[in-house]
Structure 1
Amino acid sequence: MVKQHVESAINGKIRCDACPVMCYIADGRSGACDRYANVAGELIRVDPLTVIEATLSDGGKVVPFMADSQGEWDGDIVHSARHFVTAVGAGTTYPDYKPAPFIVSQKQDGVDMVTVVTEGIFSYCGAKVKIDTDRFLGPESAAVRVDGEQIGHVMTGEYGSQMLSLGGVHHLTGGSKKEGRVTCDALLQLCNRQAVEMTIDGGASLIVKAGTAPIINGVEEQRMRVGCGSATIGMFAKQWLGHVDEVVVVDDHITGVLSEHQAGKLLDVQPTGIKIKGRRSTPGRYFQVAEPGTGWGGTNISDPLSIIGDFDQKTAYPGLRMLMVSTTGEQFGYYVLDENLVPILQSTLPAPLQQSVDIIAENCEPALASVLFMGGAGGSLRAGVTTNPVRLTRSVKDALTHVSCGGAPAYVWPGGGITVMADVMDMPSNSFGYVPTPALVAPIEFTMRLADYQALGGHMEAIVPIEEALGLAERKLAPVADRAWPTDGRNFRWGA
């Protein structure tokens, strides 16, 4: 457990200065955030300091049979000293004038490196949620609610996914106390990979949990669509050739029609006289064939024939074969035109067409909910790194400083400030905490060369060797597979 500096004590209670709430904590009790406790008169960080350590199976390099950057080879087959101290369980810099809890030095590939470790108090934070489904969740910009309180809104949809923007300073601090509390609690659960129930105004109810399939209106999603209707036509047109005369791939965004599509033209598929309701775009591509919903291809229809008008009697003919299928392959129907050119649903699907539907389904990736933490590392947090915070910002922008969150790679947005985004599935479990201001507490690490740290005005007097930090670590984890090591030289621009 990591000890925290104590500013004052009154009547046997310690006044914790780890956040603006400034709790007085009695012996044997924890503060409002459950992160700090009074143990026999000492303020202790409750959660364990977490270290990532690599083994050979996790990507560690074999030590050559000669002197390496650490000295003569001692018989160790792997870099057992390959550790990275995360900010999980490290403690915070608040009230910000003091150095970060851990400023750790170590050699990496013969270069003196420094990692500055702190748990940031993020009032300016939120989560971007990607939900792999073509189901209609709600109108764009519609409110997302938990316990009746708005915690975010629906964003513009992306290819095969619905997107939510949750949290942010206005929901955390700009509304009622309940709105802030509910928003903070929902963000905390989502970022710690727990399930959250939410509703969308004018749309669906859903349960979201990072790394699992979303549950929409009580039904667990299975597949992410293979593509829009037009893309599906292009991908699988050859498989239908000779087995069917027309294919319609129903999709809320772009419904595809094989005989009119360029893929069908190049394969010499003959016109069928089909008429699609909706707004025609380029040949074989139709917009707005139906309203958004949870039916075929993310539309509100249960009968695909409802998007088809009367066939052209000059072109269509009795016996014309037509396949209608959704973009996930979950819904499909095989029709044959009768003497009146009316599509009649057939009881069985020919084997070649069943195979094509199965291939569409096979090409659909499993439905998944992804949660990305997003926060702005403000001036106060940066002061724990350097006496001149703007230099840290410039160092990050110049790729001299690598930013990670709990050891996970963080994407740094362009433009001013240090706005980071990280996949919570890449971070250690229970990486996030909260303070009742309300705000999330999230780990963040800044790694750079020792010389660069000194140049940006770093707290040189607070640097400790990694061995000292490792002595306090209580949780050691293997790195996430296929992720760059946080201190890998490829993460940096090595300047002169």
Structure 2
Amino acid sequence: MIKVEIGKCVGCGACEQVCPSDAIKVVDKKAVVNDNCVHCVTCIKYCKPGALSEDAVSENTLLCRNCGVKCRIPEGKQGACKRFRNENGELVLVRPLQIPINTAAAPEKIAIMKPIVSAVGAGAAYPDYKPAPYIVTEKRDDFDVVTVVTEAPVSYSSMMVKIDTNAHIGDEGALVRRNGRVVGIVTTEQYGSHILILGGVNKVKGPDGMYVVKTMAELGNKEKVTLTVDKGCTLELQVGEHPVINGVVDDKMRVGCGGACCGLFARSLAPLIDEAIILDHHITGLFTKHPAGAEQKPYSGVTPVGRLATNGRYFFEHGDGWGGTNIKDPIEAIKDIDMNIAKPGMKILVAETTWRKIALFEVSAEGRPVPVEIPAELEAFRKMAAGCCEDSRVSAMYYAGVGGSARAGVTVDPIQITKAVHRGDATLTIAGAPTYLMPGGGITFLADVEKMIVHPFNYTASPAVLAPIEYTMTVENYKKIKGHVQAMRTKEDVIKEGRFEFTELKD
């Protein structure tokens, strides 16, 4: 259970708001802990007055080892994650395993997966009430299939750019600029990567709109673009290539966060060191406190700088130091060595999660870390771990909302194509690339630019991105949505025009 020091409790309610087990309530302006408590200590982390502390754990609880939180679950109660329950002293899963039964793909869906022709080079038929420039039919197995294509100006255009790097490129929300003009923002980090969102209708229609659409089109065409982040880095980005950050090529991304590295390399690392601090801007790992490392070696007495998350995992500050943290000299990662636990001669490894840089320290008789040479066996391990890193790349998803007047080139009843796409009766592709359709109204999607036909984008002075849009469906369904069936042509007829090139679509 969690202990409440009544004199310090101010009744702010933070503990009640963050408790995942509904185990703490504010009653008469004081926190009260009930028997739902699983000792996850979330409330302690968020109690600014320091009124909460760990107390003795009841013998009637069951220790869950399925994650680093290590809940102590009372009889009949669930852990903080709501996945495991204590039933008569046994840890059981709360929900049965779910096994899909509808896994067979319908032949019709396979027939309409890919377009007959792409919209790259198709042009447009403006004004949009005219049929799209190419409405092309083909026999596929037992189905008559039609693809409707146009290169449409899309102002609701965005580019989601993923940059594989451990470097801190800039704070979330920071503005991204090209030639000083705002073209996007930094958003959330992902596993070993940073994400930019470029464009969006408000930037496209703004004073820097031409810079915005030009940037998106060039990135989508896999051309090199130089961007700057406010109070952050200069980025040279080209889809499919390594990112260049402040003039330095970043060719490898991390194996995993610092905590993950403790788990991945626990058995290999344990014979080589007494402790390891694996630096990462997200989660830094302390080996002997991490569950995987703790199974291999006893706690060393070492405490890293940073803020404790769960056992063996620490949050560090962003920076341009080791592992994307603010640690410039690896010795700075060691906050304290408790000589009541530690022994002189112990070896402490400090490493980055890319394993490009490591440092080794020996604990002196006075309890200080002293730099020592890296032995051959530890260097061999470093090379092995570094070999587990993937190549860093820049990738991009075209992220847009289509529809508008261009739907009139598909059907005389525009809502019908929107409904057909959401029902799955029509497949939307962009330059031949599959799309992920977002739920809800309209046609909002994401598509991988690397799966598109080469050089898929242009831009116009509206300003807008010219996007190659394809709708593929059976002829039967095209008739049902009131499509321009009178404008349909066969693929053979299109080929007779002589204005075409054969190309391969990427899977």
TM-score range (shorter-chain normalised) is: 0.7 to 0.9
Shift of 1:181: 1.3
Aligned counterparts, 1:74-223, within 5 A: 84-173=116-205, 175-176=206-207, 179-223=208-252
**Cα distance in 1, alignment partners of residues 224 and 443 from structure 2:** 29
Aligned to 1:400: 425
The answer to whether the 8 A contact 1:131-1:368 is kept is: yes
2 CA distance for matches of 1:83 and 1:97? 22
How many residue pairs match? The answer is 393
1:186 counterpart SS class: helix
What displacement does 1:265 show? Answer: 2.0
CA distance in 2, matches of 1:440, 1:272: 58
Name the aligned partner's letter for residue 195 of structure 1: K
Rounded Cα–Cα distance in structure 1 between residues aligned with 2:149 and 2:214: 24
2-structure distance, mates of 1:154, 1:132: 14
Distance in 2 (CA, whole Å) between partners of 1:281 and 1:128 is 30
Match of residue 446 from structure 2: 421
Aligned equivalents of 2:365, 2:179: Cα separation in 1: 57
Q: Distance in 2 between the 1:363 and 1:294 partners?
A: 23
Cα distance between partner residues in 2 of 1:154 and 1:112: 45
- The residue that corresponds to 2:72 in the other structure is none
SS of 2:444's equivalent? strand
Alpha-carbon contact 2:322-2:352 (below 8 Å) kept? yes
Give, as a single letter, the amino acid of the residue that structure 2 aligns with 1:243: L
SS across alignment from 1:441:
strand
Q: Distance in 2 between matches of 1:84 and 1:221?
A: 40
The aligned amino acid for 2:503 is L
Q: Say if 1:84 and 1:407, in contact at 8 Å, map to a contact too.
A: no
| Greater relative contact order (Cα < 8 A, sep 6+) | 1
Instruction: Work out whether 1:279 is the aligned partner of 2:307.
Output: yes
SS at match of 2:289: coil
Return the alpha-carbon distance in structure 2 between the equivalents of residues 461 and 474 of structure 1: 23
Give the TM-score normalised by the residue count of structure 1: 0.77
Does the CA-based 8 Å contact 2:115-2:147 persist in structure 1? no
Cα distance per residue 1:419-476 (max 9 Å; x no partner) = 1221111112221111101101010111001100000110010000111112334322
Q: Is 1:462 the equivalent of 2:487? A: yes
Separation in structure 2 between the aligned mates of residue 283 and residue 344 of structure 1, nearest angstrom: 26
Amino acid at match of 2:134: F
| Per-residue deviation, residues 362-387 of structure 1 (Å, max 9, x unmatched) | 11110000011122112211111111
CA–CA distance in 1 between the matches of 2:191 and 2:146?
A: 40
Residue 341 of structure 1 deviates from its aligned partner by: 1.9
Out of 423-432 and 155-164, give the one that drifted further: 423-432
1:309 equivalent in structure 2: 335
Matches of 1:441 and 1:402, distance apart in 2: 20
Structure-2 separation of matches of 1:310 and 1:426: 51
How far apart in 2 are the matches of 1:225 and 1:364?
6
Aligned match of 1:346: 372
SS at match of 1:170: helix
Counterpart in 2 of 1:379?
404
Distance 1:266 1:301 in 2: 28
- Residues 83, 457 of structure 1: CA spacing in aligned structure 2 closer, same or farther, 3 A cutoff? closer
Q: 1:132-168, CA deviations, whole angstroms, 9 ceiling, x for partnerless residues?
A: 0110010101000001110010001111100000011
Which residue is 1:246 aligned to? Answer: 275
Q: Kindly indicate whether the alpha-carbon contact (under 8 Å) linking 1:93 and 1:381 is maintained by their aligned counterparts in 2.
A: no
Contact 1:135 1:298 in 2 (8 A): yes
**Letter aligned with residue 331 of structure 1:** K
1:366-425 CA distances to partner (integer Å, 9 max, x unpaired)? 000001112211221111111111111111111111111111111111111111221111
Identity %: 41
Matching residue of 1:54: none
| Aligned Cα root-mean-square deviation (Å) | 1.3
Cα offset, 1:83, TM superposition = 8.4
Distance 1:415 1:298 in 2: 38
Write the mapping of 1:25-44 to structure 2, written as runs, cut at 5 A.
none
Work out the CA distance in 2 between the residues paired with 1:337 and 1:353. Answer: 17
Q: How high is the TM-score relative to the length of structure 2?
A: 0.76
Q: CA deviation at 1:356?
A: 2.2
> What is the deviation of 1:93?
3.3
For the residue of structure 2 that corresponds to 1:422, the secondary structure is strand
SS in structure 2 of the partner of residue 116 of structure 1: strand
- Equivalent position SS for 2:151: strand
Counterpart-to-counterpart distance in 2, 1:186 and 1:334: 45
Corresponding position of 1:79: none
Structure 1: which amino acid aligns with 2:139?
K
Cα distance in 2 for residues equivalent to 1:170 and 1:122? 13
- Counterparts of 1:361 and 1:429, CA distance in 2: 33
Q: Does 1:321 align with 2:353?
A: no
- Aligned partner of 2:287 in structure 1 is 258
> CA shift at 1:478, angstroms?
2.2
Give the distance between the partners of 1:300 and 1:138, measured in 2 at CA.
13
The residue number in structure 2 matching 1:292 is: 318
SS in 2 for 1:387: coil
CA distance in 2, matches of 1:326, 1:471: 60
Question: Given residue 248 of structure 1, which amino acid in structure 2 is its aligned partner?
Answer: I
Q: Quick one: which amino acid aligns to residue 411 of structure 2?
A: T
Q: Deviations over 1:271-323 (max 9, x none)?
A: 211011111111111112xx312321111222121121231010111110111
The code of the aligned residue for 1:411 comes to Y
Does structure 1 residue 430 correspond to structure 2 residue 459? Answer: no
CA distance in structure 1 between the partners assigned to 2:215 and 2:172 by the alignment? 21
2:375 corresponds to 1:336: no
1:31 matched to which residue of 2?
Answer: none
| Contact map agreement 1:90 1:118 (CA 8 A) in 2 | yes
Separation (CA, whole Å) in 1 of partners of 2:380 and 2:348 = 15
Q: Which residue of 2 aligns with 1:356?
A: 381
